[in-house]
Structure 1
Amino acid sequence: MKVIISGGGTGGHIYPAIAIANELKVLDPTTQILFVGAEGKMEMEKVPRAGYEIVGLPVVGIKREFTLANLAFPIKLGRSFLRAQQIVREFRPDAAVGVGGYASGPLLFAASLKGIPTLIQEQNSYAGLTNKALARWAERICVAYPGMDAFFPADKIKVTGNPVRSDIQFADQQIDAGRKLFGLETNRPTVLVIGGSQGARTLNESLEAGLHRFVDAGVQVVWQTGTAFIERARAAVAATGSPLIKAYDFIYEMDKAYAVADAVVSRAGALSVSELCLVGRPAILVPLPTAAEDHQTKNAMSLVDRHAALLVNDRTAREELVTAALALLANSAQRQQLSTEIKTLAKPNAAREIAEEVTKLIN
């Protein structure tokens, strides 16, 4: 069995793709998998780290507002489609999977033209442009949320939830290892702050302004900043003179990060929401307001409406976020309620279900 998996751009696309690949290998260890991503994007680094081969397309995204960069879009799209045709011709896959992101479009379209069955995995509660465009050619569309027939043909949809990294499922077994990894004390509460794979300015600036409040309260912070903010974060941490704050540009061992967290502050990307459900950690979500069709708010509200998470508005986060985090850490009953409710929304077998759908397309 030979499968191409295409897409990327952010961790929210890349890690579900890797989870699907891992499950395909579990179902059939002889499966050959090739990833196709966008040149210069983070998948070109993260996928090889996971042990898979990846090739890049010169594709770029198109801005919703007019920019000079948009003038190059049709040229790069055309070149990417020609390269995708070559990849499909040479690799000869039995199926192609698209997880969203720039590279999915050219690759899945090229595969469809060759009569190769395709599967789309849509992580969000609002379908992305690429996946909506590809839906007419896809044989199967795996989604995380009910009600996605507003975007896709109902007879093609299967609700699977979002696949997450397999190690996340065993986070509770990593508490001691996590404390050792991050240099944490056992008798202090810990908050984990994650702004997604690329960081989050609002979360970073809110935390930066309130670091002293965490230190004064004796709270430990594990803070993923993204690469653009890490030097500024390190300077802010140094200014506190406290060992309680740990700043990292990127955290690879997220199972250990979740394990040590008494509470989590996060954006509301699809992957983050799915992981939080699986690990059952009480969470404060700060949706990215510029996400397409405000889909992060929709993702967050799917939890908030079920009393499974708290929400802080991006616009007021600088004034409210640290206060909300400290209040949650101080309220054990609320943390327990949030943890109990969010666990009921977990989909631990999503990657396996999607991998099985891929094999059905082939067989």
Structure 2
Amino acid sequence: MGKFRFILSGGGTGGHIYPAIAIADELKRRYPDAELLFVGAKDRMEMEKVPQAGYPIKGLWITGIQRKLTLKNLMFPFKLISSLVQARKIVSKFRPHAVVGTGGFASGPLLRVASGRNIPCVLQEQNSYAGITNKLLKDRVAKICVAYDGMERFFPKDKIVKTGNPVRGDLVDIKAGKKEALEHFGLQESKTTLVVLGGSLGARRINQLIEKELGFLESLGIQLLWQCGKLYYGEYKKYHSDSVKVTAFLNRMDYAYTAADSIISRAGAGSVSELCIVGKPVIFIPSPNVAEDHQTKNAQALEKENAALLLKESQLDTEFETVFSALHQSEEKRNALGNNIKALALPDATRHIVDEIEKLLENE
């Protein structure tokens, strides 16, 4: 067979885009002369992020269905038909040997067309609660790569392979020492460090919590590395001090994780997978504003294994100080959480996903 051609489709959020890019990078590493094409949704972040990663992308005119009657919903049938027509053109012209879908609206029409032409298709589901697009495609694909146990609730058991979620290579093998990491952020070795993560844009409710609890955290002798997000930096940078480091964005996540004694984070699939590899005690504060409340379900899956603590946004004002004090005061609890979350890590996820793609190519 000549050089391989692969289409990767997924987007709408970083949680769908970054796994697709990681898979593309591994395919390119194994097949340097392969042709790779991404298919996303017009006007969504993948149209910017994928070219930045060095790959071509085509955009479909597609969005999801809103929960209430809107003009967007009335347009949905037209967008779906348009996307299916575009997807047929893309597949006919590119003639892929395999197609990978990582979730998001654009992957629906593309994988529907490809599977209808008997092109091997692989799904990658990041969350413990399957997304709607992947659920709709489950009977049409050859393999479904998942990160959690119990996914036969959503998918045919014989198609499921537990691979984990792709994570950044620099996190799989963190080389930085703690002293070096603390110095990078201007933090002190003598203090306990709490790292607060709200995503690149930031998390309003987490930021409000930290602002309210600054005095409490100071009373415990804790120093903060507070990634408040670019949307909120202007509002919170006034708190920057010797013991509170406020930043819009963390460009050295390996240093941030190494510096941390404990971590507060949202519970998106990518964050959860990274934090399993890092193996530090985590308090998850899931975003309630995501499809099917999947962040809460991701965090619950770890809480059940005594691998993380879960606080819902509705509990923050009444329970945060009690939960954090108990964690801070018990080294045994911190060690147990760190060891248990590390035991759930699947650091070779990207490699295993591409192994599954290769098996399908061999059967062609």
Q: Same fold by TM-score, threshold 0.5 exceeded?
A: yes
Task: Read off the aligned partner of 1:179 and give its amino acid letter.
Answer: L
> In the aligned structure 2, how far is the partner of 1:64 from the partner of 1:20?
32
| Count of residue correspondences | 359
Moved more, 213-222 or 333-342: 213-222
1:106 counterpart SS class: helix
Partner Cα distance (2:65, 2:179) in 1? 45
Alpha carbons of structure 1 residues 183 and 71: separation in structure 2 relative to 1, 3 Å: farther
Aligned twin of 1:116: 119
| Superimposed CA distance per residue, residues 5-38 of structure 1 (whole angstroms, 9 cap, x where no aligned partner) | 1112222222222222222223333332222222
Distance 1:51 1:220 in 2: 38
Give, in angstroms, the shift of residue 301 of structure 1.
Answer: 1.9
Distance 1:322 1:16, change over 3 A: farther
The 2-side partners of 1:75 and 1:261 are apart by 49
1:159 to 162, 169, 174: 162
Mean alpha-carbon deviation: is it higher for 259-268 or for 106-115?
A: 106-115
CA distance in structure 2 between the partners assigned to 1:312 and 1:104 by the alignment:
33
Distance 1:354 1:204, change over 3 A: same
- Report how far residue 329 of structure 1 moved: 3.5
- Choose the corresponding residue for 1:39, options 42, 54, 59: 42
Other-structure match for 2:345:
346
Q: 2:75 corresponds to which letter in structure 1?
A: A
**For the Cα contact (< 8 Å) 2:102–2:124, is it kept in 1?**
yes
Matched with 1:284 is: 283
Q: Tell me which residue corresponds to 1:258.
A: 257
**Identity across the alignment (%):** 50
- Name which of structure 1's ranges 154-163 and 196-205 shifts more when overlaid on structure 2: 196-205
Q: Matches of 1:247 and 1:57 in 2, distance apart?
A: 38
Q: How far did 1:327 drift?
A: 4.5
Structure 1 stretch 153-162 or stretch 33-42: which is displaced more? 33-42
Q: Which residue pairs with 1:296 in the alignment?
A: 295
* C-alpha displacement of 1:219: 2.6
> Is 1:231 paired with 2:230?
no
**Structure 1 position 75 matched with structure 2 position 75:** no
Q: What is aligned with 2:212?
A: 209
CA distance in 1 between partners of 2:127 and 2:164 (Å): 10
User: How far has the Cα of 1:249 moved from its partner?
Assistant: 3.4
Distance 1:337 1:293 in 2: 30
The structural deviation recorded for 1:208 is 2.3
Q: Residues 124 and 176 (structure 1 numbering): CA distance in 2 closer, same or farther, change over 3 Å?
A: same
Amino acid at match of 1:295: H
* CA-to-aligned-CA distance 1:240-265 (integer Å, 9 cap, x gap): 36233333334343223222211111
Give the conservation status (yes or no) of the 8 Å contact 2:240–2:246. no
The answer for the alignment partner of 1:268 in structure 2 is 267
Query: In 2, distance between residues paired with 1:53 and 1:174?
Result: 37
1:141 aligns to what?
Answer: 144
Unaligned runs of 5+ in 1: none
In the other structure, the counterpart of 2:23 is 20
TM-aligned CA deviation for residue 86 of structure 1: 2.6
Distance in 2 (CA, whole Å) between partners of 1:64 and 1:226 is 28
Q: Equivalents in 2 of 1:50, 1:177: separation in Å?
A: 29
Tell me how far 1:104 sits from its aligned partner. Answer: 1.1
Cα distance change, pair 316–217 in 1 and its aligned pair in 2 (3 A): same
- Is the deviation greater in 249-258 or in 267-276? 249-258
Q: Which moved more, 1:264-273 or 1:38-47?
A: 38-47
Partner Cα separation in structure 2 for residue 132 and residue 51 of structure 1: 30
Letter of the 2:65 counterpart: I
CA 1:146–1:187: 2 relative to 1, 3 Å: same
TM score, norm. by length of structure 1: 0.90
Q: In the alignment, which residue of structure 1 is the partner of 2:54?
A: 51
Distance 1:163 1:320 in 2: 33
Residue 94 of structure 1: CA displacement? 1.1
Taking the aligned partners of 1:197 and 1:138, their CA distance within structure 2 comes to 33
Deviation at 1:331, TM superposition (A): 3.1
Gaps of 5+ in 2: none
Q: Is the 8 A contact 2:62 2:80 kept in 1?
A: yes
Residue 172 of structure 1 and its aligned partner are, at CA, apart by 5.0
User: Quick one: which amino acid aligns to residue 52 of structure 2?
Assistant: R
